[in-house]
Amino acid sequence: MAAENTDRARGLRDVQDLLSRKATSVGALVDQALVQSKEQAHLNAFLETFDTSAREQAERVDQRLKAGEAGPLAGLVLSIKDNICYKDHRVSASSRMLEGFTSLYSATVVERLLAADAVVLGRTNCDEFAMGSSNETSFHGPVRNPLDEKRVPGGSSGGAAASVAAQVVHAALGSDTGGSIRQPASFTGTVGFKPTYGRVSRYGLIAFASSFDQIGPFAHDVHDAARVYEAMAGHDPLDNTSSHRPVEPAALDTHPGKLRIAYYRECLERPGTDPEVVAHLQATIDRLKAEGHTVEPAELPMLEHLVPTYYILATAEASSNLARYDGIHFGHRSKEARSLEEIYRMSRSEGFGPEVQRRILLGTFVLSAGYYDAYYAKGQKVRRLIREATLRTFQDFDLILMPTSPMTAFELGALSEDPIAMYLQDIFTVQANLVGNPAISLPTGTHSNGLPFGVQLMAAPFREDLLLQASAQLFGA
């Protein structure tokens, strides 16, 4: 069946309306997406499209639609970040270390989305082992922002964000360790949602920093992000960090009433934040007040300590997680190595790129004898203080409003020689990962340079229902 013009059918509701009217089929939608992925190949967003399995899944979904048995995501075409496993498909974390590796099992999130009748189109490029804020550290080269191809799409889930922004797929899965879903969403004008830590299973996610990582969706609107989230959330016996708490559905069509919303003066006053981003946040605060919501300043716990604390702890976990990739247990083995020591040294030197090596070295340093107490142990104490202060804020407020990123998408190569400037891209996003609470980036602003940027909302742990409801009703996203 030929597809009706679906340029405007970016979201699941439009797609399912077309399917219900038999104006298209899932097979036609997948074929269209595959064509678009080839036309957009210069963006380098996809490392691979799963043409055969995507068409086979589409055929199954079409049959289930005819039988009246289709799942809630029937018609949804999505991509998955190249650190999420899909059985019998390649996954590499965009690193030479895992080049050519085929997964023996599927991540729980992939299994649940397939069971809901979504179709996985392919795997998307990302910063190597999810380490980066621009998608320039990938072994396969940088991803380009579909809105301005001279600029980055953000990172580390830049390929996932670009696949949605380029309208190849309806939604995408990324992973968020310190802002790696929300910052690319801000740069590409999409919705990016990080659930509470433990709300979505991490089984089948190639680990960067295990106490920070969380899988979440990109989408064109909050409705689709919520539908994808609800399909994959919930306890997983294969992940001992996943929560047993029931998943509360978000009533997106219901107004949440008058809310108590906090904001941080430090975000408005911080040097280095683009003045237009600041002005937009202030205008948003004024609008919400005019609508009758209580919007008041709250104390931001240690703004200047957020990024250092995050990088000390995250790199420590990375050095431990990536120790298995040594040319013997897992990963690339150097063909030039002639001794056991050379296998370790040369395989890791060849397999890992400069940014991954930098973070492994930093993490190993802060865990080493003589420095553990001074850095890692102190970092854990500061993390606890940040968490406690943030949770105290949620005793008095329903939501916290912040910028997502201090600037719009920057040009390729602009920050690649300055790791500190690159790390500071995460200054407004790492708080949610340190605390473990849910956060979302909503595309609400357009800069004078023509590029989008987002505002960020955070809610108390496991209040995804309120966060998504407020996002839909307050921002129409």
Could you give the residue numbers annotated as active site?
81, 156, 180
The contacts of residue 98 (CB under 8 Å, 6+ apart) are: 91, 92, 206, 325, 330, 331, 332
Scanning 94-153, the segments in alpha helix (DSSP H) are 108-115
Return the number of other C-beta atoms located less than 10 Å from residue 31's C-beta.
17
C-alpha closest to that of 152 among 167, 138, 135: 135
**Pairing relationship of beta strands 439-446 and 191-194 according to DSSP bridges:** antiparallel
Q: Which amino acid is at 374?
A: A
Q: How far is CA 240 from the centre of its chain?
A: 21
Torsion on CA atoms 174, 177, 182, 187, rounded to nearest 10: -90
d(CA 254, CA 272): 38
C-alpha closest to that of 166 among 39, 31, 318: 39
d(CA 183, CA 308): 18
Return the number of other C-beta atoms located less than 10 Å from residue 314's C-beta.
27
**Pairing relationship of beta strands 399-403 and 260-264 according to DSSP bridges:** parallel
CA-based radius of gyration for the chain: 21
Return the number of other C-beta atoms located less than 10 Å from residue 328's C-beta.
12
Q: What is the DSSP letter of 236?
A: -
Answer yes or no: are the C-beta atoms of 361 and 316 closer than 8 Å.
no
Q: Which amino acid is at 145?
A: N
d(CA 134, CA 157): 9
Answer yes or no: are the C-beta atoms of 465 and 248 closer than 8 Å.
yes
C-alpha closest to that of 322 among 354, 347, 356: 356
Q: How far lies 282's CA from each of 217, 256, 319, 354, 443, in Å?
A: 27, 22, 40, 39, 16
d(CA 273, CA 279): 10
